[in-house]
Amino acid sequence: MSESHFHEHDDDAHGAHSAEPLSGVDPGPLHDAVAMLAAALHTYVDTAVGVRAEFGSEEADEDPRILAVEGEIGALNARLYDTLHETLGLHADLTGMSWDDGEEGDADAPPSAIQADTFHLGFVVGPPTGTSDLSLDGVLDQIDASGAEIAQQLVDAGYEVAEWGVSRGGPVLFGDEDDEDDELGDDTDDEPEGGR
């Protein structure tokens, strides 16, 4: 589960959070934090290649070795964020992802309207402890019901929810091929590996 990180700033007239330019900063600790993160990313690649050679993609995603390195990378990302924040007062957004569609825009053109974005909420769920009739397949039904409620709350708040879905083993992949089935609240399909 991701956790929001909120900082209260004390009155800091001359430090990292001042409105004035900040000079004389030693970048060494910042570079050290980046180097540790880079080393962990290299470890992730090596681990992922090794695990994938042993297992299929779904099993590899849940392999304890992969999850351990992902946890380490998350902690190092947080450390880098905190180091940048404490040293420079920046609220660095370094963990987002974006894909360039390869189109060169006109530099003089006005900014385009804000495009839609995708959001994902993930769970790692294990089987029930003790004797139970429940299976992991039932998790999708529960998440699906909650997804319908969240989608409706977003619509009620004024957002346009073009598509939503539930999947198992990875985030929902949205695409034009499923547009006819992607209306809000469409419960005709339970596709454990894909979107709706």
Cα 9 to Cα 22, 77, 143, distances in angstroms: 16, 21, 38
Residue 87 and residue 15: Cα distance in Å, rounded? Answer: 8
What is the arithmetic mean of pLDDT over 56-76? Answer: 92
pLDDT digits (tens, 9 = 90+) for 18-53: 788 888 899 999 999 999 999 999 999 999 999 999
Give CA–CA dist 66/83, Å, rounded. 26
Inter-residue contact 12 to 85 (CB < 8 Å): no
53 residue type, one letter? A
Instruction: Read off the pLDDT of residues 134-170 as tens digits, 9 standing for 90 and up.
Output: 777 778 778 888 888 888 888 888 888 888 888 777 7
Quick check: helix, strand or coil at residue 73? helix
